[in-house]
Chain A
Amino acid sequence: MSTTSLLVIAILILATLGYFLASKRAISTAGGDRRKLHSLPVYYGSNAAMFTAIPALGVLLIWLLAQPMLVEQNVLSTIPDKLITEGSSIGLVMSDVRRVADGLEVVVSTGTLSQNETLKLDTEQTDIRALLAGVGAVVGSDVLPEVLEAAQNYRAQTKTGQLWMVLIIAPLALIGFALSVLAAKPTFRARNTVERGILALLVFAASLAILTTIGIVFSMLFESINFFKLHSWTDFFFGGSWAPNFRGDSDLSILPLLWGTIYISITALIVAVPVGLFAAIYLSEYAGPRVRAFAKPLLEILAGIPTIVYGLFALLTVGPALVRVFGRGEEGLLGVEWMSGATAVLTAGLVMGIMLIPFVSSLSDDIINAVPQSLRDGSLGLGATPSETIRQVVLPAALPGIVGAVLLAASRAIGETMIVVLGAGAIAKFSANPLEAMTTITTRIVSQLTGDTDFASPETLVAFALGLTLFVLTLGLNVIALYIVRKYREQYD
């Protein structure tokens, strides 16, 4: 068992011990009379457990996150430059080093060699690669002496780090334990302390949302910066072609992808907005309760279906059906040869539109229902027909909200992945023909980041720049849409 898990278990045992000791002590210092205590005994116990475990575990977590980074930094500075210039990258060398180091640890733990023996290993005398393969650790190529040295260095530093970790964290837990058990006296306001601790946990949970956003932005920003160091940003934003080439010198421009994304999204919205809007109007203004109770949940099923299902539907049902209509020459329904493959803008757009119908309709439904009944009464009372009332009073009043809903739907369409991965195709081009295959930002992110990836080549890193652009694009749409919808709701609240 690793040092870390032993440490965690020790801390938890200590915390449990603290819980019982402190609540016992609280009662006994109060002379066995619980009424003399400021708080319930449970709180004294919880207080002790909290002070023993939380600071120690918190430091441990930070330590675990920070140590590999620091060790890596140190080891990295010792790696000679010549290793890196030989057609590889720092990242690759480092991952080799890590793999060798981890492998050697496994060698020790399985008992193949002792700790001292591994330290004396030499590339000249032992086939390290075979040794590691013997315990199931696979290294891509023969282990160079420099790599082995770095790996030994890595192991040594990790060891030292772990030693310090135990030396710091164990006393921390013990101090917390001692202080909190000693503090368990009737006058001590245990409940208030515990509650403050719980509040801190709650705040931490709430700030995770912010951390996620920061994580998203930074993870993509750093790699995007790396990408722009390798590839000109003018070509990325303003170039005209997308042709990744894993031998280097690729054209990596976002514009053709953006065009495909927007074209498919607009096709989807052309399907989803009228259908969704009219469905919402019918359900909220015309349908009787029975139709509503039946049609509304059924339509909402469309929203609960996973996108992979829609992707398959596009690839295997809608695409071939469209080919039967628009393709196959003489054999086709129209006798034309306009569409050759099942993947096309129309295929993906149509299916995405179907997926978005319930999204648009339920948002519009909310918004139409927020229009006060008095406005409808006013219009009907003047002798307007229901449709005149809807078109001339309800919809204009609901317009901002509906615009917000459409923007939210657009943001969904732009960020949708599975339908376009399976239904849109992989060809990046500027074309206005909806029966041709085109590709989108999301499909390219998937294709650049799956399979063999090399995080030092622009062809892989471009995915992060694409991701960042996608994030900014959808975030912008969402912020505007949520702002409009919120303003609209306030108007009738």
Chain B
Amino acid sequence: MNDKNIMESHMGTTAIKISARDVKVYYGDNHAIKDVSIDIEDKTVTAFIGPSGCGKSTFLRCLNRMNDTIDICKVTGSIRIDDEDIYDRRVDPVQLRAKVGMVFQKPNPFPKSIYDNVAYGPRIHGLAQNKADLDDIVERALRRGAIWNEVKDRLQSPGTGLSGGQQQRLCIARAVATEPEVLLMDEPCSALDPIATAQVEELIDELRQSFSVVIVTHSMQQAARVSQKTAFFHLGNMVEYGETGQIFTTPQDPRTESYITGRIG
């Protein structure tokens, strides 16, 4: 499996999707992210690992400017997606977020029907010409979310009525429905049981074919299972970034080694 990863990542080096340089994030006086520079590849699953409070989630939220919703949060440095600075004044975060979808830690289906949950994104972005078109988009998204077979008979029942794992896959389908290019996942399995986790992980692996997926996880096993590249964060610094296999077998930095062997975190 490692061989395959290495091969693919070699292919990937030619297509850098996101490139961050010297990113600093402040929460009021708190310096949450210190000088992070990273290149994230297209059609790859990149995992951010690290102990709690290390800034991995904060950094993830910078990638689609979700931090804008927090008043006291300030971001400096540059983050470029497809070579366009997403913190440029001309960029509308709304358009950016259509391009960079996000799945959250806790499944958060809207209190609407399953259909409306998935159709929400396409509707606000005007992706469907007509009802049939929308039906199509919803079905495709639910299939990609690997949940179509479970819900196809009850599309009009509320999304909140599904089980936790189903809800999270619904949320993934909802994010996929707007045809993003990057999919950010903030600990998507932390609220799920092992079986549901396995299903979601399998799904992530499939999504890699169409998107650049960035996943934050506190589970090293999960990072090892689903990702091709891994970045290790510690106290607001990105300590190490490389092939997943290499990070887990021969870490360069002693802090990474300590974390992986369970001495910190």
Is chain B in direct contact with chain A in the complex (CB below 8 A)? yes
Which residues on A are within 8 Å of B, measured CB to CB? 288-289, 372, 374-385, 388, 392-393, 396-397
A–B complex contacts, Cβ < 8 Å, 8 sampled: A372-B108, A374-B108, A375-B110, A380-B66, A383-B94, A383-B95, A383-B99, A383-B101
Chain A hits for B120, CB < 8 A: 379, 382, 384, 392-393
Stretch with Cβ within 8 A of A (4 or more), from B171-179, B224-232, B246-254: B171-179
Contact among A289, A372, A384, A397 with B94 in the assembled complex (CB-CB below 8 Å): A384
Q: Do the beta carbons of B124 and A382 come within 8 Å of each other? A: yes
Q: Do the beta carbons of B124 and A381 come within 8 Å of each other? A: no
**Residues of A contacting B: mostly:** helix
Which of A288, A377, A385, A393 has the most chain B CB atoms closer than 10 A to its own CB?
Answer: A377
Nearest A residue to B106 via CB reads A374
How far does the alpha carbon of A148 sit from the alpha carbon of B172 in the complex, in Å? 92
Contact status of A381 and B97, CB under 8 A, knowing A288-B71, A374-B104: yes
How far does the alpha carbon of A392 sit from the alpha carbon of B99 in the complex, in Å? 21
**Residue interface bits B175-186, CB-to-A below 8 A is 1, else 0:** 100100000100
Asked whether any CB of chain A lies closer than 8 Å to the CB of B152, the reply is no
Q: Do the beta carbons of A381 and B71 come within 8 Å of each other? A: no
Chain B hits for A393, CB < 8 A: 110, 120
Contact among A382, A392, A396 with B178 in the assembled complex (CB-CB below 8 Å): A382
Q: Do the beta carbons of B106 and A382 come within 8 Å of each other? A: no
Q: Do the beta carbons of A381 and B175 come within 8 Å of each other? A: yes
Chain A hits for B14, CB < 8 A: none
Q: Do the beta carbons of A383 and B104 come within 8 Å of each other? A: no
Asked whether any CB of chain A lies closer than 8 Å to the CB of B64, the reply is yes
Nearest B residue to A397 via CB reads B111
Asked whether any CB of chain A lies closer than 8 Å to the CB of B214, the reply is no
Chain A hits for B104, CB < 8 A: 374, 377-378, 381
Contact status of A382 and B101, CB under 8 A, knowing A377-B66, A396-B112, A397-B110: yes
Give the number of residues in B that approach A within 8 Å (Cβ atoms): 29
Nearest B residue to A382 via CB reads B121
How far does the alpha carbon of A374 sit from the alpha carbon of B171 in the complex, in Å? 12
Asked whether any CB of chain A lies closer than 8 Å to the CB of B21, the reply is no
A405 to chain B, nearest CB (A): 18
Q: Do the beta carbons of A379 and B64 come within 8 Å of each other? A: no
**Residue interface bits B3-24, CB-to-A below 8 A is 1, else 0:** 0000000000000000000000
How far does the alpha carbon of A372 sit from the alpha carbon of B184 in the complex, in Å? 21
Chain A hits for B102, CB < 8 A: 377, 381-382
Within 8 A of A (CB), among B82-134: 94-99, 101-104, 106, 108-112, 120-121, 124-125
How far does the alpha carbon of A384 sit from the alpha carbon of B101 in the complex, in Å? 11
Contact status of A377 and B108, CB under 8 A, knowing A382-B97, A385-B94: yes
B163 to chain A, nearest CB (A): 17
How far does the alpha carbon of A384 sit from the alpha carbon of B98 in the complex, in Å? 8
Chain A hits for B121, CB < 8 A: 382-384
Asked whether any CB of chain A lies closer than 8 Å to the CB of B69, the reply is yes
Chain B hits for A374, CB < 8 A: 104, 106, 108
How far does the alpha carbon of A377 sit from the alpha carbon of B178 in the complex, in Å? 16
Q: Do the beta carbons of B108 and A380 come within 8 Å of each other? A: no
Q: Do the beta carbons of A378 and B97 come within 8 Å of each other? A: no
Contact status of A382 and B66, CB under 8 A, knowing A289-B71, A396-B111, A397-B110: no
Which of A374, A378, A393 has the most chain B CB atoms closer than 10 A to its own CB?
Answer: A378
Q: A377-B104, A381-B66 are in contact. List 7 more A-B contacts (CB 8 A).
A: A374-B108, A377-B66, A381-B64, A381-B103, A382-B98, A384-B97, A388-B124
How far does the alpha carbon of A376 sit from the alpha carbon of B111 in the complex, in Å? 12
Contact among B98, B109, B171, B184 with A383 in the assembled complex (CB-CB below 8 Å): B98
Chain B hits for A396, CB < 8 A: 110-112
Chain A hits for B101, CB < 8 A: 381-383
Nearest B residue to A377 via CB reads B104
Contact status of A383 and B124, CB under 8 A, knowing A288-B71, A289-B71: yes
How far does the alpha carbon of A393 sit from the alpha carbon of B124 in the complex, in Å? 12
Chain B hits for A388, CB < 8 A: 124
Contact status of A380 and B111, CB under 8 A, knowing A374-B104, A388-B124: no
Q: Do the beta carbons of B110 and A383 come within 8 Å of each other? A: no
A388 to chain B, nearest CB (A): 5
The 5 A-B pairs at the shortest CB distance, nearest first, are namely A381-B102, A383-B98, A383-B97, A374-B108, A378-B108
Contact status of A379 and B66, CB under 8 A, knowing A288-B71, A384-B94, A392-B120: no
Chain B hits for A382, CB < 8 A: 97-98, 101-102, 120-121, 124, 174-175, 178
B180 to chain A, nearest CB (A): 8
Chain B hits for A385, CB < 8 A: 94, 124
Chain B hits for A397, CB < 8 A: 110-111
How far does the alpha carbon of A377 sit from the alpha carbon of B97 in the complex, in Å? 11
Nearest B residue to A372 via CB reads B108
